[in-house]
């Protein structure tokens, strides 16, 4: 386990961050980790539109401060995140793409912060989820009754999709290069594997804890159909466009 920073409060034994591309299952992972009695996992603390606390704290009056305070001194704000609560040994948050360049560089360089790198194997589902979330303004859903009932079928521009794939690939390559520089505690996991109990145990043990009795709990609600045919208006066109390519199987995939 890496040595703690001098600024780390003594009661927090492990600091961590989830590094992920948008719509890769990070909200689900946050709620899963936060269901462990010794873990507090916030969501997008550095989201430009607001401070996304752990779902378990959103109705409690808990606060880390204001957006103005965060943006005025993002690194000082970061130190507030590590403040623990009784019984909480691990505190972390998720960070999507480059929401704050100062903090992104800190996460890549600070060996005292454990990193969980989350990817989604099916890049087409990642992209479609992003487009639907932007269309519906629906990013987080934790109660079935809050889910938008009408799921529109959307047109997918294959060139825009390929640009997103390249963008995400560059992002993850930069993270891996920084991690492979040595001294970092990091693990890479796939969204599609998060449902497996053995993978959940591996992540919890990576954070230096024993698995919780009964395993981790998923609180987020799945928003979209597993079948892309239900979601893409020009599905057949895309199948022809990507025939015999690495994306053909992703269009046909009906798994998670």
Nearest to 103 by CA among 73, 69, 63: 73
Domain boundaries, the chain: 14-252
Neighbours of 188 (CB within 10 A): 14
Out of 1.10.150, 3.30.1360, 3.40.50, 3.40.1350, select the CATH number for domain 14-252.
3.40.50
pLDDT given for residue 5 in this prediction: 33
Question: What are 118's strand-pairing partners?
Answer: 20, 189
pLDDT given for residue 12 in this prediction: 72
CA distances from 202 to 44, 198, 211, 230 (A): 23, 6, 9, 34
**Ordered per-residue pLDDT tens for the chain, 256 residues:** 333 333 344 457 899 999 999 999 999 999 999 999 999 999 999 999 999 999 999 889 999 999 999 999 999 999 988 876 778 999 999 999 889 999 999 999 999 999 999 999 999 999 999 998 888 876 666 666 556 667 789 999 999 999 999 999 999 999 999 999 889 999 999 999 999 999 999 999 999 999 988 889 987 767 667 899 999 999 999 999 999 999 999 999 988 8
Region of 93 on the Ramachandran plot (φ > 0 left; ψ -120 to 50 alpha; else beta) = beta
pLDDT given for residue 127 in this prediction: 96
Neighbours of 256 (CB within 10 A): 17
Nearest to 118 by CA among 53, 55, 41, 56: 41
Taking only the tens place, the pLDDT of each residue in 207-244 is 999 998 888 998 776 766 789 999 999 999 999 999 99
pLDDT given for residue 134 in this prediction: 85
Distance of CA 48 to the CA centre of its chain: 16
């Amino acid at each position: 386990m890496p040595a703690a920073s001098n600024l780390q409060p003594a009661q927090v034994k492990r600091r961590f961050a989830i590094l992920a591309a948008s719509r890769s299952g990070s909200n689900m992972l946050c709620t899963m980790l936060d269901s462990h009695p010794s873990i507090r996992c916030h969501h997008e603390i550095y989201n430009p539109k607001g401070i996304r606390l752990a779902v378990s704290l959103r109705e409690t009056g808990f606060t880390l401060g204001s957006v103005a305070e965060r943006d005025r001194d993002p690194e000082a704000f970061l130190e507030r995140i590590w403040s623990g609560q009784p019984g909480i040994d691990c505190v972390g948050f998720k960070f999507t793409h480059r929401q704050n360049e100062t903090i992104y560089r800190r996460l890549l360089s600070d060996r005292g912060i454990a990193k969980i790198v989350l990817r989604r194997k099916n890049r087409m589902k990642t992209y479609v989820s992003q487009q639907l979330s932007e269309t519906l303004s629906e990013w987080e859903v934790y109660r079935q009754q809050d889910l938008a009932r009408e799921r529109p079928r959307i047109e997918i521009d294959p060139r825009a999709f390929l640009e997103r794939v390249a963008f995400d690939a560059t992002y993850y390559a930069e993270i891996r290069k920084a991690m492979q520089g040595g001294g970092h505690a990091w693990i890479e996991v796939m969204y599609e594997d998060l449902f497996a109990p053995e993978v959940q145990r591996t992540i919890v043990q990576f954070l230096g804890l024993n698995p919780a009795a009964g395993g981790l709990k998923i609180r987020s609600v799945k928003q979209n159909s597993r079948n892309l045919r239900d979601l893409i208006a020009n599905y057949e066109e895309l199948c022809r466009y990507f025939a015999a390519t690495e994306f053909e199987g992703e269009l046909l995939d009906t798994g998670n």
